[in-house]
Structure 1
């Protein structure tokens, strides 16, 4: 049994690598600085040993055959310096996955600035519902599966000789020694390009730099492959114009895939070349989810799943943890958890909730925690993204730029706090029966959800 030790195991991607390696028969251990659900829970359930911190001493405790290094690792970390000084074997997570897992399967990759996790979850579920039993690695936990990653199972579908793997294809860099985007390692046969905006300001100087990486991905897709792209994204169109060697299908406004009539429950007709070819009857709301579904239907069709099958499967889709996930209802007040952290995602998330709750009050609670947000790159767009909320609370601890100044256009409906306890106290004091508290962060946010529920219970 080979032993891999994963540096940075607590992230959703590297935690998924750990789950897949464990399932494949490897001994898996790892380290990280901080752990929080759902990945900490998933690793514990799998019985994977995790050491806290990046000290060199762990190399003696976990003498592995290969050290798989996540992009959280940096030069100067004791464990990294020790691996290099001792000449120990190391690789990146994406490269390990490519060489040991992906090359054996038909890869369906989902890329884009927003919606990757939800769309990849939808796609994996549609394939599962069709009997294809795909493997997958997703940056969240789809509620239809209860795990974020697994190997393909025995395929009972019409293409039983072929195995499939759905992967959330992130444009973030691979490792400290490989500055290409993760997704260039995956070599998909089917690719969804959901959208493209400027993000990850800590590693990309501008949008053009991200577009270059997306074109590197396009260069790896075979001529017999398929690119499903959001044709409402000018930035994606510019990428395709740099050169494309595969079949392409647009979704959104093209002659290819379109959203038709939308009913009061959020269901909608699916159009292909202006003809109704299916209807999705589901509980998800928001234009972004309908666009995600269009992309999934097109990608699934490429592997032999009919539009009718996909529409039926999407009706049984249960969404993803930390995507408008209800954490609890106390005193008639609903507390949600959502991963939104980019202004576009924040606006889309609030809009989706607004469609659901009508005129009820939305209390938006934001932690600008991502690297891009901490740098203040998106601060000019932040206030507009929160316009549909009735009250806005922002935790500014650890942020160097003036959050209050950036949110000043929201006037008296915004409240900024440097201390978590004061933030929680203010939210509890303000909330009343019928309110919806929407907590948005790409981290654990100090366990704020449970603290709010506990405080509301005794209010």
Structure 2
């Protein structure tokens, strides 16, 4: 559901007792973690029990598995996930009681007060770039507060309340949340049309990034990755208007402020041009904030990944398994580039679960084309989120667009059947990559279990 952002968002300390409906999600759990660290009384509920809920309970939150009106308790403020429906009993109860309702973006804004915010936006690479910047700043002694859309491998958490004056935040454009943070500075990794269920047209989507940059502090700065045409054009427009713009490129040192030479001698956690671009953007922001270059570079070199971003899940039977969140054609291209480099002489087997009916309708053919960089592909049906099913839009639409021989493309709509298909096809030396923003993340461990039991022999 969509909860409007109020005209005035109070600081977290003025929200009273805060109840989160959907507290287990990546966005709300991080905000709850920061509030708990600051002594704000927190409760919440989620439809799925998880290690995230257990961790929040250990930090002092009262967290319920399942939704019920009495879970609201003595809350003064209720924060609602976009995944929650209008008839959720806790939302209904909060409205009956006349409580303050906040969306995720407003709750995040409430914990930003008093900090210099660096917001990381873009269609792709937000989580990785936010993570890289966080680790680089930590290594350089800045100790920022951070809120990321995935768990840092080094810390195992997606958010923490730092002692420094900086706040590094992943700024999501999918529902317009990034328009409400008023950051000091920003990174924009790319502007590549997506979330057209919200924005309607590519032009409106691009215009939202102009609106985002317009919210920056006049004394702040903007970092853009010049390799992306949309981000480069955004940077040119705002530089012409007097904004301090720093440009980076993973392709060339010419005509940019930081190019690939800036990372000479730095071994990054994953291969791929887009990861180098993310690291350069983080380096540029750190330098502009006044941190020492060598310390920032040490931080970038020490970064060990983020959950669900080319995350190694393990190895069994000579087969390595990775999992990643890619769900847009451009992201698929980038992750397959990295996976191909990691696979070396081995084959690359990819299982992809399309995410959102609207995205699959618009980009399904391009998704299939991007998957052609694999040796074999397993296509699942569309993961339904926020939208009803459409019998005309299924994973078959993507499968039919994969430019590989028919015997190398397998349409396996049921998630429960995918691991067995992958384990039967994989051979020693191969790399298996599961891709998608939905439930496919559970498949990697299942593949490993089957391989350990000899499933690759089938």
Q: Which residue of 1 aligns with 2:4?
A: none
1:383 aligns with 2:368: yes
* Residue correspondence of structure 1 range 63-74 to structure 2 within 5 A: 63-74=74-85
Mapped to 2, the partners of 1:372 and 1:328 lie a distance apart of 33
Call closer, same or farther: CA 1:26–1:57 in 2, change over 3 Å: same
Q: Which residue of 2 aligns with 1:185?
A: 180
- Tell me how far 1:248 sits from its aligned partner: 0.7
Q: Which residue of 2 aligns with 1:17?
A: 31
- Tell me how far 1:40 sits from its aligned partner: 4.4
1:336 aligns with 2:333: no
1:194 aligns with 2:189: yes
Q: Which residue of 2 aligns with 1:119?
A: 129
Partner deviation per Cα, 1:228-269 (whole Å, 9 max, x = no partner): 012233323444566544201111256233433xxxxxxxx2
- Tell me how far 1:298 sits from its aligned partner: 0.8
Partner deviation per Cα, 1:296-348 (whole Å, 9 max, x = no partner): 11100111113333222211111112122111111111111111111111111
Call closer, same or farther: CA 1:283–1:21 in 2, change over 3 Å: closer
Report if the CA contact (8 A) 1:341-1:370 is conserved.
Answer: no
What secondary structure is seen at the aligned counterpart in 2 of 1:312?
helix
RMSD of Structure 2 on Structure 1 (CA): 2.3
| 170, 173, 176: which one aligns with 2:172 | 170
- Tell me how far 1:444 sits from its aligned partner: 3.4
Partner deviation per Cα, 1:336-387 (whole Å, 9 max, x = no partner): 11111111111110110111222311110111134654x5221020111111
Partner deviation per Cα, 1:1-30 (whole Å, 9 max, x = no partner): 942100121211111011111111122111
Mapped to 2, the partners of 1:245 and 1:7 lie a distance apart of 42
Call closer, same or farther: CA 1:405–1:190 in 2, change over 3 Å: closer
Which shifted more, 81-90 or 136-145?
Answer: 81-90
Q: Which residue of 2 aligns with 1:275?
A: none
* Residue correspondence of structure 1 range 403-418 to structure 2 within 5 A: 403-408=395-400, 409-412=403-406, 413-418=408-413
Q: Structure 2: state its 5+ residue gaps.
A: 1-12, 384-388
- Tell me how far 1:146 sits from its aligned partner: 2.2
| 312, 319, 325: which one aligns with 2:298 | 312
Which shifted more, 207-216 or 131-140?
Answer: 207-216
Call closer, same or farther: CA 1:372–1:344 in 2, change over 3 Å: farther
Q: Structure 1: state its 5+ residue gaps.
A: 156-162, 174-180, 261-268, 272-277
Q: Which residue of 1 aligns with 2:246?
A: 249
- Tell me how far 1:201 sits from its aligned partner: 2.9
Report if the CA contact (8 A) 1:279-1:311 is conserved.
Answer: no
- Tell me how far 1:123 sits from its aligned partner: 0.4
What secondary structure is seen at the aligned counterpart in 2 of 1:184?
helix
More strand by share: 1
- Tell me how far 1:144 sits from its aligned partner: 2.6
1:4 aligns with 2:18: yes
